[in-house]
A and B are shown apart, each in its own frame.
Chain A
Amino acid sequence: MVPKQTPSQTVGPYFAYGLTPEQYGYDYKQLTDNILTENGVAQIQIRGQVFDGNGDVVHDAVLEIWQADSQGRYAHPSDPRKTNTGFGGFARHGTGTLADHFYEFETVKPGANSDDQAPHITVVVFMRGLLNHVYTRIYFPDETLANEADPVLSLVDADRRGTLIALQEAEGSYRFDIHMQGERETVFFDP
Chain B
Amino acid sequence: MLAINGFAPRDWNSHPPYLSPDYKSTPLRAPTKPLVILPQGLSELTGPVYGQDAVGHLDHDLTQNAAKSGKPNGERIIVAGTVTDENGRPIPNILLEVWQPNAAGRYNHTDDQHDAPLDPNFLGAGRCVTDQSGYYRFITIKPGAYPWGNHFNAWRPNHIHFSLFGPSILTRLVTQMYFPGDPLLELDPIFNGVPEAARHLLVAKLSIEISEPEWALGYEFNICLRGRTATPMEA
Contact = CB atoms under 8 A, between A and B. Distances in A.
Interface in B133-160: none
B104 interface: no
B230 interface: no
B29 A180 contact: yes
A175 to B, nearest CB: 21
Contacts of B48: 32, 66, 75-76, 88-90
B36 A3 contact: no
**Interface of chain B, main secondary structure:** loop
Nearest to B167: A78
Contacts of A17: 99, 107-109, 123-125
Contacts of A124: 169, 172
B28 A4 contact: no
A188 B175 contact: no
Contacts of A40: none
A78 to B, nearest CB: 5
A89 B41 CA distance: 16
Which of the four size classes fits the interface of chain A? 35 or more
Given A28-B123, A189-B38, A15 B201 contact: no
Interface string A91-115: 0000000000000000000000111
Given A17-B108, A17-B109, A156-B36, A7 B15 contact: yes
A76 B36 contact: no
B36 A18 contact: no
A12 B189 CA distance: 13
A29 B20 CA distance: 35
A178 B227 CA distance: 29
Nearest to B171: A5
Given A9-B202, A17-B108, A131-B23, A181 B28 contact: yes
B74 interface: no
Contacts, number: 255
Contacts of B2: 78, 80, 114
A13 B156 CA distance: 13
B46 A74 contact: yes
Contact of B40 (A13, A21, A191): A191
B56 to A, nearest CB: 7
A28 B49 CA distance: 21
A53 B21 CA distance: 14
B28 A129 contact: yes
B10 interface: yes
B202 to A, nearest CB: 6
Interface stretch (A41-49, A132-140, A141-149): A132-140
A58 B174 CA distance: 19
Given A19-B97, A180-B29, A12 B161 contact: yes
B23 A18 contact: no
Contacts of A190: 9-10, 35-38
A19 B15 contact: no
17 contacts: A4-B14, A7-B198, A9-B175, A13-B109, A14-B99, A14-B161, A16-B109, A18-B124, A31-B54, A31-B95, A78-B46, A113-B41, A128-B29, A134-B31, A155-B37, A189-B36, A190-B35
| Interchain residue pairs A-B with the least CB separation, the first 9 | A18-B99, A129-B25, A90-B48, A76-B46, A129-B29, A190-B35, A53-B28, A189-B38, A191-B38
Interface of A: 2-19, 21, 26-29, 31-32, 52-54, 56, 58, 60, 64, 66-68, 74-80, 88-90, 113-115, 117, 120, 122, 124, 126-135, 137, 151-152, 155-156, 160, 180-181, 185, 187-191
Interface of B: 1-2, 4, 9-11, 13-18, 20, 23, 25-33, 35-50, 54-56, 65-66, 84, 86-88, 95, 97-99, 101, 107-109, 111-112, 123-125, 127, 161, 163, 168-170, 172-176, 190-191, 193-195, 198-199, 201-202, 222-226, 235
